[in-house]
Amino acid sequence: MSEEKKTEEVTEEKKAPEEEKNTCEGNTCKDGTCKDGVCESGTCESSVCGDMCCGQGGKRIFIWLVIVVLVVGAIAYFQMQKRNTAGEERPVSEKVSEQVKKSAMDLINGELVPEGTKVEIGNITEESGLYKMIITVEGQEVTSYMSKDMTKFIPQLIDTKELAESKAEEEAAQAEAAEVKVKSDKPEVEVFVMSHCPYGTQIERGVLPVLKALGTAVNSKIKFVDYAMHGDKEVKEQLRQYCIQEKEPQKFYAYLDCFLASASGSEAESKTCLATAQINQTLMTQCVAQTDQQFKVTALLNDKSSWVSGQFPQFNISKEDNEKYGVQGSPTLVINGEMIQAGRDSASLMKAICSAFNTPPAACQTEMSAEAPAPGFGTTAAAATNADASAGCGA
């Protein structure tokens, strides 16, 4: 064998181990540089290629990057789905739209509106798991909903947030309406009622404890609407109450307390209360006769041609004040010449009246009941459904 050939074989033997040593499939080049999967210098260690150019190390990092991308994408998708089912509107197919319109129209025309009413249904969308539609009834738009199986129809979906906001606005408006703008050192408090109107007796039962607590700090009077809606018993009772206030005002609250606590405000119950309050009946009888003649109370009661709306006799003792304030019915609360909308519980009435002082007296701090009396006679408090402060008697 020639020397040249031996030299080539020795060279090949030396190169083979070097290449095997420096090939770094799935390993790291220590103190060297990776190129095309081979360490150009240094040694191979670990299972990750340090500069990401050789073996399985780079592949593993690529796989982890793919997994991260998929996870982020999945999260984004589910968030989008969540938004789509949590109140956002989505379109529906034309076929579904027609089915919903037909189902809704059949129900509306068959059950909810009189025959011949003009009803139109606009675009159908999906919202909060329901079909949403704009229904126009005689030109008025109403947003309505139907369940996915088309078995349940919801004429109007209540937005609890909007409802709470509306209630807050209403309460704020009521509070503002109960605030007297015109202040004085001694407020004038006038309560216009019909003696047998259930809502008139309701406010009287609420305001009496307040007027007793405030005493002479206010000028107060119970007055009467200029027509009567509850027959001749009301006309006679109002004459009695007017005369008690005129002739023996210090006894009026005792009488009215008794009368309001009675079962029905009958003539017999009124007589019992006159005795209980120790009313001078001779003095009262004389006043009633004079007042009747002055204001033609009985004459107007008997003259049906003069009745308001052909139904109710005039009662003109406080007619001038009725016209001055624009009193329409019972009850009407006027403080310092200003018509006030207040609750009919004692606490609300105390607050309204005390808002009329320039400097409220200590009596304004008296604790009062926040329970509204029930409409009518008796001593019970109102149920929640009967505590409507806007209810009244009026033609």
* pLDDT band for position 6 (cuts 50, 70, 90): very low
Give the closest residue to 287 by CA, choosing from 247, 340, 253.
247
- By the 10 Å C-beta count (0-12 exposed, 13-18 middle, 19+ buried), 298 is classed as middle
Is it the case that residue 76 has pLDDT exceeding 90?
no
Instruction: Identify the CA nearest to 141 among candidates 156, 131, 129.
Output: 156
Confidence of residue 142 (pLDDT cuts 50, 70, 90): confident
Per domain, the residue ranges of the chain are 90-156, 178-394
* pLDDT given at position 35: 58
Superfamily of domain 178-394 in the CATH hierarchy: Glutaredoxin (3.40.30.10)
Residue 239: Cβ within 10 Å count: 23
For residue 350, the model assigns a pLDDT of: 97
On the question of pLDDT at 149 being above 50, the answer is yes
CA 142, CA 154: separation in Å to the nearest integer? Answer: 11
* CA atoms of 155 and 326, how far apart (whole Å): 39
| Arithmetic mean of pLDDT, 45-53 | 44
pLDDT confidence of residue 144: 87
Peptide bond into 155 cis (omega under 30): no
Which residue type does 65 have?
L
Could you identify the residue written with the tokens 């305001």? 207
In this prediction, residues 80-95 reach a mean pLDDT of 68
pLDDT at 392: 93
Give the residue among 290, 324, 283 at the shortest CA–CA distance from 190.
324
Write the pLDDT tens digit of every residue in 107-117.
887 677 777 78
User: What pLDDT score was predicted for residue 51?
Assistant: 44
Residue 329 CA to residue 311 CA, distance in Å, equals 15
CATH code that applies to domain 90-156 = 3.10.450.630
What's the pLDDT band for 160 if we cut at 50, 70, 90? low
Does the pLDDT value for residue 11 go beyond 50? no
Q: What is the pLDDT of residue 338?
A: 97
pLDDT in tens, 354-393: 999 999 999 999 999 999 999 999 988 776 444 577 899 9
The residue type of 75 is I
Common-topology check for domains 90-156 and 178-394: no
Report the pLDDT value the prediction gives residue 390, as an integer from 0 to 100: 81
Over residues 234-255, the mean pLDDT reads 98
Specify which residues 133 forms β-bridges with: 124, 144
More confident residue, 240 or 73: 240
Do residues 27 and 44 lie in contact, with contact meaning Cβ atoms separated by under 8 Å? yes
d(CA 196, CA 378): 12
Q: What is the pLDDT of residue 112?
A: 76
pLDDT for residue 113 = 74
Which amino acid, one-letter code, is at 63? I
**pLDDT beyond 70 at 147:** yes
As a whole number, the mean pLDDT across the chain is 81
Q: Does the structure show a pLDDT above 50 at 332?
A: yes
Whether pLDDT at 50 is above 50 = no
Residues 171 and 219 sit within 8 Å (Cβ to Cβ): no
Q: What is the pLDDT of residue 330?
A: 98
Whether 209 has a pLDDT exceeding 70, the answer reads yes
* Confidence (pLDDT) at 337: 97
Q: Which residue has the higher pLDDT, 385 or 218?
A: 218
Give the per-residue pLDDT at 33: 61
Give the Cα separation of 26 and 45 in Å (integer): 9
Question: Residue 148's pLDDT is what?
Answer: 86
Q: How many Cβ atoms are within 10 Å of 221's Cβ, its own excluded?
A: 17
What is the structure's pLDDT at 42? Answer: 54
Per DSSP bridges, beta strands 188-193 and 219-224 are parallel
**pLDDT value at 15 more than 50:** no
- Residue 87 confidence (pLDDT): 57
- Band (151; pLDDT cuts 50, 70, 90): confident
CB-CB neighbours of 329 under 10 Å: 18
Q: What are 143's two structure tokens?
A: 């947003």
